A and B are shown apart, each in its own frame.
Chain A
Amino acid sequence: MADLATATRNAALTTRGGFAEVVLTPAPAASRLSLRAGADALPGLSAALGVTLPTRPKTSALSGKRHALWLGPDEWLLIDEGEGDLMAAAASSGTLHSAVDVSHRNVAVIVSGPGAEVAINSGCPQDLSLAIFPIGACSRTILGKVEIVLLRIAEDTFRVECWRSFSPYVFGMLSEGAADAGH
């Protein structure tokens, strides 16, 4: 006779004490800029912002506490975790561009630990293996039913950016994934 598969019963609050394989941390406040610009504005903007805007898909640049994430051929997300004024820096570049301060539109969750990939892959279809999605790789993608921007900041650590009203959903989704990551 075939063996019967048995589901493990979890108590309602099992996951409230944290997870064995994954740590979920709300990221501290940061300033963010949604930047659109043509190729001719890039040298000026890079110099003014102090970080080289990447031009290859799925890549990001880091300078001090300032990240520049490639989102599209003419679109970047800048994240400054320090005190820098991104809007003033972009405005001082003297180039034709569009910059929108989205600091309060986004919030981020830091997902770290050996099960971080599995936790994110519970709702995200991208291949997050280290060879395909190396440290510094970034991408706009989806998690469950919401759009996120994913950035790998270390081998076992990701930054998940989402719109703030979606953040309870994202945190819940990641928690579910994290609870499953140990199995």
Chain B
Amino acid sequence: MLLIYCPYCEEERSELEFRNAGDAHIVRPANIAEISDEEFEEFFFLRQNPKGLFFERWRHIHGCGRFFNAARDTVSDRFYTTYKAGEPKPDVAAILNGEQDKGAAR
């Protein structure tokens, strides 16, 4: 069972208490009524689904109920970090370098 750190509960909890909520950091266009169908499709439907490091939203639905963001590896299922909704996207290089340092320390 995965343990996921909830930034609001400040504790690791079982994955059973959480729900995935798709990609993080998708910004709704301010001029939504004016954009073309193609631009709307891009915003609303098209997702990257990358292999490896991925930023996504999670919800602690059976806990505090809050949405938050997580950086997860889609291959190993490992959570690199979680952070509160509204906080800036962490730097990819910093996350991966941090992991290398941890690996070297082991």
By the criterion CB–CB under 8 Å, are B63 and A73 in contact? Answer: no
A66 within 8 A of B: no
Contact of B38 with A by CB under 8 A: no
A residues contacting the other copy or chain, number (CB 8 A): 13
- B63: chain A residues at CB < 8 Å are 72, 139-141
B-chain residues with CB within 8 Å of residue A156 when the two chains form the complex: none
* Given A57-B8, A73-B8: A126 in contact with B13 (beta carbons within 8 A): yes
B74 within 8 A of A: no
Is A125 within 8 A of B64, CB to CB?
Answer: no
Q: Give chain A's interface secondary structure class.
A: strand
- Among A71, A72, A75, A125, the residue within 8 A (CB) of B14 is A125
Contacts of B16 in A (CB 8 A): 125, 142
Contacts of A125 in B (CB 8 A): 1, 13-14, 16-17
CA distance A140 to B8 in the complex (A): 13
A125 and B4 CA atoms in complex are apart in Å by 12
Would you list which residues of chain A between 137 and 173 have a CB under 8 Å from chain B? Answer: 139-142, 147
A58 located at the interface, meaning its Cβ lies under 8 Å from any Cβ of chain B in the complex? yes
Residues of B within 8 A of A75 (CB): 64-65
Contact string against B for A residues 45-69, beta-carbon threshold 8 Å, 1 for contact and 0 otherwise: 0000000000001100000000000
With CB as the reference atom, state the residue of chain A lying closest to B3.
A125
In the bound complex, residues from chain A placing their C-beta under 8 Å from that of B65 are: 71-72, 75, 140
- Residues of A whose CB lies within 8 Å of any CB of B are 57-58, 71-73, 75, 125-126, 139-142, 147
What are 25 A-to-B residue pairs whose CB atoms are below 8 Å? A57-B9, A57-B10, A57-B11, A57-B64, A58-B9, A71-B65, A72-B8, A72-B63, A72-B64, A72-B65, A72-B66, A73-B64, A73-B66, A75-B64, A125-B1, A125-B14, A126-B13, A139-B63, A140-B62, A140-B63, A140-B65, A141-B13, A141-B63, A142-B16, A142-B17
Q: Which residues of B line the A interface, CB within 8 A?
A: 1, 8-11, 13-14, 16-17, 62-66
